A and B are shown apart, each in its own frame.
Chain A
């Protein structure tokens, strides 16, 4: 199918909205739009960060997911307690594939699940005593843990436990940080508020810890990678590029990151932000308090990598600028070979995306490098500033959908007929059963890394093996194939 015109796309949105009752239709209409690059401010064309409609199948997470799962979870040398009933922590344990180095259970705790396992009596009588005991047990069993965070689940807020006072008391007793994070799942409309709450708790309990300590020797080339969660090793493949350029990466937030790295971040010269949505709050704080400038960058696909590395180098002296050019030249043969191999196999394929914080706009460049076209994109939990940045990246008359419902997404796919969908695990099997190639883009479908030049090779391979997989030609059972084929074959043989 050829690219849709503006009117066709608008008609499609209207058609999809038709099934809703009047009130829901009016609300959902604000979240779906046709991209128009001439619009400067997204708030004029799309509404975001609003409560989902009751009764529709939304794909969002909760504040606990944003804090424990995204921001705090990957800090490897701290113990993150899922404070509340056992399920929230257990069913999300290690699902995000934030890789790290270390001995799990000795000095790193990333893939482990710590929970206070609330029972009925804890709900009735309160769980503060249990939390107190739990922190002591952690300190006995895991003496190398550098700190503890208490990630509250919904019931903590509902029964009104005072986790702050317990944490304060334990911080004194153990002389290591015990940080209460009020990220109850019911707060806010999506995981986005969880990011904000987690950022604020880092601001209040971590950032200023070494303000008076000047023992850390800084260099003019110190940077921090902010908002890279090392999914499948992403932060590592970004880090080598920055270090090749001559920069010194002091901290990784928060994939493969440590408490000490976070404490040292106020001493860097520049904060590099990959995931704007989840970490812009703390970067803004550091800009105001410590005067550290921040900039967004994008390490998906060679075009964007070159753009970003040059933009980063602009902030430094000639040595780094030269370093950036050297890095780009060094990898040129590698990525040219990747494009030469996969572009002919992927040219002209259409992609629809529906992911989280930064990917719906950041990956577009990588697909374009492979000759593919992104015909629809949307965020689970973006705010207007994310859409401001997306409008420029997307082509005219493409679909934008905010907090898309299961029904809408299926209908869009049926009509737009993309060659590939990139979304999450909850959508994966629905679309695969519909016969549409699908990549799970939250944790790279158990692959990765996708960042950097090394990641691009893996990205291209993965897209190719998904789209050109022979299984998509076998979607119909042999006995359901049209009878014409069966009849013509023997005739041809006998003739």
Chain B
């Protein structure tokens, strides 16, 4: 369950940064992305999948969240 910092990149996309692993990937797809919640299954551009229970209200980025590795 790594701590992940989510921040916006210059293009407006979301970056998924795991400090311990020096991993920085763009988020390709978020399951729940509405005005009042954000989260669910998250897919990154490198194909890996992560999960977080939807956060409500929608967090303002940058922020640090705890993700689970999906399957």
* Interface presence of B34 (CB below 8 A): no
The answer to whether the Cβ of A41 comes within 8 Å of any Cβ in the partner chain is yes
Determine the distance from Cα of A383 to Cα of B23 in the docked complex, in whole angstroms.
9
Whether the Cβ atoms of B7 and A287 lie closer than 8 Å is yes
Taking a contact as CB atoms under 8 Å apart, the answer to whether A284 and B7 are in contact is yes
Cβ-closest chain A residue relative to B7 = A287
Please, could you name 19 A-B residue pairs with CB atoms under 8 Å apart, sorted by A? A41-B46, A49-B22, A281-B19, A284-B5, A284-B7, A284-B17, A284-B62, A287-B7, A287-B62, A288-B7, A288-B62, A288-B63, A291-B62, A383-B22, A384-B22, A384-B23, A385-B22, A385-B24, A388-B24
B39-71 residues with Cβ-Cβ distance < 8 A to A are: 46, 62-64
CA A184 – CA B29 in complex, angstroms?
A: 41
Report, nearest first, the 3 A-B pairs whose CB atoms are least far apart. A383-B22, A288-B62, A287-B62
* Residue numbers in B under 8 Å from A385 (CB-CB): 22, 24
Interface of B is mostly: strand
Contacts of A49 in B (CB 8 A): 22
Query: Chain B interface (Cβ within 8 Å of chain A)?
Result: 5, 7, 17, 19, 22-24, 46, 62-64
- Chief secondary structure at chain A's binding surface: helix
Complex Cα gap A379–B63 (Å): 30
CA distance A41 to B46 in the complex (A): 9
Interface size on A, residues (CB 8 A): 11
Contact partners of B46 in chain A: CB under 8 A = 41
**Chain A residues with Cβ under 8 A from B19's Cβ?**
281, 284
Alpha-carbon gap, A22 to B63, bound state (A): 45
Roughly how many angstroms separate A385 CA and B17 CA in the complex, as a whole number?
A: 11
**Which residues does chain B contribute within 8 Å of A41, judged by CB atoms?**
46
Instruction: Return B14 CB to nearest CB of chain A, in Å.
Output: 13
With a CB–CB cut-off of 8 A, which chain B residues contact A284?
5, 7, 17, 19, 62
Among residues of A, the one whose C-beta sits closest to the C-beta of B64 is A288
Seed contacts A41-B46, A288-B62, A384-B22; 19 additional CB < 8 Å A-B pairs: A49-B22, A281-B19, A284-B5, A284-B7, A284-B17, A284-B19, A284-B62, A287-B7, A287-B62, A288-B5, A288-B7, A288-B63, A288-B64, A291-B62, A383-B22, A384-B23, A385-B22, A385-B24, A388-B24
Interface members, chain A 240-290 (any B CB < 8 Å): 281, 284, 287-288
Distance of A291 Cα from B7 Cα, bound (Å): 10
Interface string of A47-89 (1 = CB under 8 A from B): 0010000000000000000000000000000000000000000
Closest to A294 in B: B7
Name the CB-closest residue of B to A289.
Answer: B62
In this complex, what residue of A is CB-closest to B61? A288
Could you mark each residue 382-407 of chain A with 1 if its beta carbon is under 8 Å from any beta carbon of chain B, else 0? Answer: 01110010000000000000000000
Bound Cα distance A383, B42 (Å): 24
CB distance from A43 to the nearest CB of B (A): 8
Chain B neighbourhood of A388, CB < 8 A: 24
List of B residues within 8 angstroms of A281 by Cβ: 19
A394 to chain B, nearest CB (A): 20
Contacts of A288 in B (CB 8 A): 5, 7, 62-64
Provide the bound-state CA to CA distance between A356 and B64, in Å. Answer: 29
Residues of chain A with a CB closer than 8 A to B64's CB: 288
Rounded to whole angstroms, the CA-CA distance of A281 and B20 in the bound complex is 11
Which residues of chain A in 11-68 are interfacial with respect to chain B, using CB atoms and an 8 Å cutoff?
A: 41, 49
Interface centre among B22, B24, B64 (most CB of A within 10 A): B22
